[in-house]
Copies of this chain bind each other. A is one copy, B any other.
Amino acid sequence: MDDSRARAEALDAADPLASFRDRFVVDDPRLIYLDGNSLGRLPKATADRLARIVRDEWGRELIRAWDHWLGLSRSIGDGLATGLLGARAGEVIVADSTTVNFHRLVTAALDARPGRQVIVTDRANFPTDRYVLEGLAAARNLEIRWLDTDPGDGPQLDAVNAALDQEVALVTLCHVDYRSAAIADMSGITAAAHDVGALTVWDCCHSIGSIPVALEAAGADLAVGCTYKYVNAGPGAPAFLYVREALQGELRNPIQGWFGQRDQFAMGQGYDPEPGIDGWLVGTPPILGLAAVEEGANLSIEAGIGAIRAKGIALTQLAIELHDALLVPLGFTLGSPRDAARRGAHVSVRRTDARDLTRRLIADGVVPDFRAPDGIRLGFSPLTTRFADVWDGIARIRTLAS
């Protein structure tokens, strides 16, 4: 292969998304930022919007701004649904954290399958999902049937099938593995779960904004995901929550809050939820975070998830080729699928001293993430990462690891 920087530069020159990088704040052009899948960069429009919302709306309109703030959780959710999640308007809201939303959806799914005693999930799942499930299983005296997937492969349909029977209430997995970027077969696994009468909750934290999610086509029942990764909505921005329209009449939001109440400001006796997805709102949503989700999502929607996906494949493909050429001789192994169709927008390269190497890389101006036990995770954010960044990052790893 051609492992020259010139090749990476040529890819940048031909990149139809290249101009999007100018829509983000890039103060330090020397920084090689390969962690946009932990915290995406700051869109310039977001900085402006937040300044306006603080000074003009909070500062000047004060309480009267709630007239337009009230609809944000839903309108932004509609944008995510139709633009990034392959869902319909009225199936997604933005509010609370991924963990709180995951807890709510799992609780609702378990409530909808009374008598079934088993949750199927994976030891490779993101920690917060596992911890929530352990808490709910203990509180309800349920069994967790653990898959023991190699994170490099992601959950396999045959392993899920082997775990399924009529006792299973719920199958819940990450759509894209947080270490390897392995993509789960959402459609196949959902169909298998439905065959035994179980529901599915999909954690889309690492897929929203990086690959097409296609919730409707996959038949997904329920899903959550964060917005501060590929959606570039900033630290602790609120998460999304998806409930398939056909289930909205059946499932009940287990945290009954005043933002889900039909006539909220009547402040009446008795919880009477809004029909549809609006009944899944709980407390007062974080307005600054919501505005940042809207601006970040608008950039991804403008670029188009198809173009984002194409660039994500090209970025990870270049990284894998450079890994093979430059890092394998130094004892690295690839921790991500080689099949582009089964890989999201990050790549894990593994060596036993990955923790120390990550520390040294960051000190040297290259920012990836360490993921236990031995992975350097290189996150490529198609709207902001250049092919030259991929080259520079891998070259720096080679230098420090030699």
Partner-B contacts on A (CB < 8 A) = 25, 27-28, 31, 33, 35, 38-39, 41-42, 46-47, 50-51, 54-55, 57-60, 62-66, 69, 96-100, 103, 111, 123, 126-128, 130-132, 134-135, 139, 226, 228, 234-239, 254-261, 264-271, 282-290, 292, 362, 367, 369, 371-372
A290 contact set on B, CB distance < 8 A: 236
A96 contact set on B, CB distance < 8 A: 96-97, 100, 283
Given contacts A128-B258, A270-B134, contact A235 B372 (CB under 8 A): no
User: Chain B residue with minimal CB distance to A369?
Assistant: B63
What would be 5 A-B contacts, judged by CB atoms less than 8 Å apart?
Answer: A47-B54, A65-B235, A131-B271, A235-B284, A288-B289
Q: Other than A58-B234, A128-B257, A236-B290, give 4 A-B pairs with Cβ distance below 8 A.
A: A50-B288, A99-B255, A111-B139, A236-B288
Q: Which of A123, A235, A287 counts the most chain B CB atoms within 10 A?
A: A235
Given contacts A35-B62, A58-B39, A255-B103, contact A98 B283 (CB under 8 A): yes
Query: Roughly how many angstroms separate A130 CA and B97 CA in the complex, as a whole number?
Result: 23
Q: Is there contact, CB below 8 Å, between B35 and A100?
A: no
Q: Is there contact, CB below 8 Å, between B287 and A286?
A: no
Shortest Cβ gap from A57 to chain B (Å): 8
Q: Is there contact, CB below 8 Å, between B285 and A135?
A: no
Q: Is there contact, CB below 8 Å, between B25 and A55?
A: yes
Q: Is there contact, CB below 8 Å, between B236 and A289?
A: yes
Query: Roughly how many angstroms separate A64 CA and B31 CA in the complex, as a whole number?
Result: 12
Q: Is there contact, CB below 8 Å, between B100 and A59?
A: no
Query: Roughly how many angstroms separate A258 CA and B226 CA in the complex, as a whole number?
Result: 14
Q: Is there contact, CB below 8 Å, between A286 and B238?
A: yes
Given contacts A234-B288, A257-B131, A284-B236, contact A27 B59 (CB under 8 A): yes
Query: Roughly how many angstroms separate A105 CA and B367 CA in the complex, as a whole number?
Result: 39
Given contacts A25-B59, A58-B234, contact A99 B135 (CB under 8 A): no
Q: Is there contact, CB below 8 Å, between A35 and B63?
A: yes
Q: Is there contact, CB below 8 Å, between B282 and A134?
A: no
Q: Is there contact, CB below 8 Å, between B58 and A38?
A: no
Shortest Cβ gap from A387 to chain B (Å): 20
A64 contact set on B, CB distance < 8 A: 362, 367
Query: Roughly how many angstroms separate A244 CA and B286 CA in the complex, as a whole number?
Result: 27
A58 contact set on B, CB distance < 8 A: 39, 42, 234-235
User: Chain B residue with minimal CB distance to A27?
Assistant: B60
Given contacts A131-B256, A135-B254, A256-B135, contact A54 B97 (CB under 8 A): no
Q: Which of A123, A126, A372 counts the most chain B CB atoms within 10 A?
A: A372
A135 contact set on B, CB distance < 8 A: 254-256, 271
Q: Is there contact, CB below 8 Å, between B99 and A283?
A: yes
Q: Which of A60, A127, A261 counts the most chain B CB atoms within 10 A?
A: A127
A369 contact set on B, CB distance < 8 A: 63
Shortest Cβ gap from A140 to chain B (Å): 11
